[in-house]
Structure 1
Amino acid sequence: MKTRKPAQKVSLAVAYICYVTAVIMLFFAGYRAYAVGTDNPIFASFAASVFFFVSCGIVLHVMGTVSLPNLKIDSKKLE
């Protein structure tokens, strides 16, 4: 089993929050596209938000699930 550091657990939780926010923004963008049209700047900002939150979620998900080795330098091995 992989052991994760606390920062990895936090970044994984924030990644899931980003995914949920992206889905919510996708619904808002779809509603604005249906109600006003796709040539509206508000629709463009919602679409950009979807891209941002999905990209953020992917990066944080990778950071949260990667197996990091112990990066401490052992002074006994240096001697």
Structure 2
Amino acid sequence: MKNSAMFWVANTTLTLVVVTIMAAMNFSFNWVFYITVLGQSMVVYMVYKVLTDNYTTKKTFKDFYEDHPIGQTS
């Protein structure tokens, strides 16, 4: 199974939300510290995966927002 960039974005977000909850619930400092270090390393790897992901699109800047194209008024 190929791990896509979105897999790492979701897992990193989940890890950092969990460490925030653990800190708020007064978990042991060791757990919070080590999961924080894990989360920070996951952020670095996530950024690498997002920037090197082989993703292409046919959209251009002229497409702008699809729900409100440039030049149209509502």
TM-score (norm 1): 0.56
Partner of 1:42: 31
Q: CA deviation at 1:62?
A: 1.7
Identity of aligned residues (%): 7
Bigger share in helix:
1
Structure number with bigger Rg: 1
Counterpart Cα distance in 2 of 1:18 and 1:48: 16
Say if 1:19 and 1:57, in contact at 8 Å, map to a contact too. yes
Counterpart Cα distance in 2 of 1:21 and 1:66: 19
Counterpart Cα distance in 2 of 1:64 and 1:27: 24
Q: CA deviation at 1:57?
A: 1.1
CA RMSD in angstroms comes to: 2.4
Partner of 1:16: 6
Say if 1:22 and 1:49, in contact at 8 Å, map to a contact too. no
Q: CA deviation at 1:23?
A: 0.9
Q: CA deviation at 1:25?
A: 0.8
User: How many aligned positions are there?
Assistant: 55
Counterpart Cα distance in 1 of 2:39 and 2:55: 24
Say if 1:32 and 1:43, in contact at 8 Å, map to a contact too. yes
Q: CA deviation at 1:65?
A: 4.4
Runs (4+) of structure 1 exceeding 6 A deviation are: none
Counterpart Cα distance in 1 of 2:41 and 2:9: 10
Partner of 2:17: 27
